[in-house]
Amino acid sequence: MTLQTIDRFGPNNRQTFTVNNIKRMSVYPQGIDEKIGTVSDILLDDRGQLRYLVLDLGMQIFGKKILLPASCARVSHKTNRVYVELTRKQAEALPEYNERTVLDNQYEEKLRAVYRTQAAQPGVSTSMYKMNEQGSQTLRLYEERLVANKNRFKAGEVAISKRIETETARVSVPIEKERVVIEQVTSADTGKPVALGEVDFTAGEVVHLEVYEETSDIHKQAFVRQEIRVKKLVEEQTVEAQEMLRREELEINTEGHPVVERVD
């Protein structure tokens, strides 16, 4: 499988877009604040999977570049650094890489042989070369997830009070009033003679009549017009968010005919 630089892959490839952010990051030994070099390029396989970081060691050794296996590096976007289990002295002893190098399986096997040779040297304790005949290694795969939380805050305040409004009202009340009417009428006995003994002329005879009338009694009185109840209701709504999430996938590359069994 021939390796290619990241520039040969399209910008729409999600994997290459994410990996491209590693370029120009500084490389440091794990636990040591001594810069080894800078990531100058990235090598991918035909499927766009990350295989090697091209590490520029800087001007101290005339701009020498080496290949660093991706499995030996830990990228920290927080510090914008790449950490490796490799000292600067060990990095300088690795074979030089340049753009004319043919990146095929044969070259990779030679490169792996160099790493294995260095791992066998006394005093070299970096676990990056130990491909485990006696023990095992653990590789963590990370992924990003969306975590949804809720924050409660005061959105406002409602003040409910009463005010008095005035208006002019009109009302009509019919009332009754009695009046006395004196009417002279003609009786059937009018003009008939009356015997002297039958008539008693009496002065001061009076007829009493009580006369009534109504007056209006208009006044104001308060009534319950309506009743207001104030309460709060909780309305629920769903807020959606969309983010681009990253996830690390396991990549297994084999040479020859090894037996690899993957147990999930």
With a CB cutoff of 8 Å and minimum separation 6, the contacts of 40 are: 23, 24, 54, 55, 56, 65
Query: Helices marked H in 70-206 — which ranges?
Result: 88-92, 105-120
What pTM did the predictor assign? 0.44
Instruction: Map residue 197 onto helix, strand or coil.
Output: helix
CA-closest candidate to residue 6, choices 18, 22, 20: 20
* pLDDT tens digits for range 40-51: 988 887 777 788
With a CB cutoff of 8 Å and minimum separation 6, the contacts of 214 are: 175, 176, 177
* pLDDT tens digits for range 130-159: 433 333 445 567 788 888 888 888 889 999
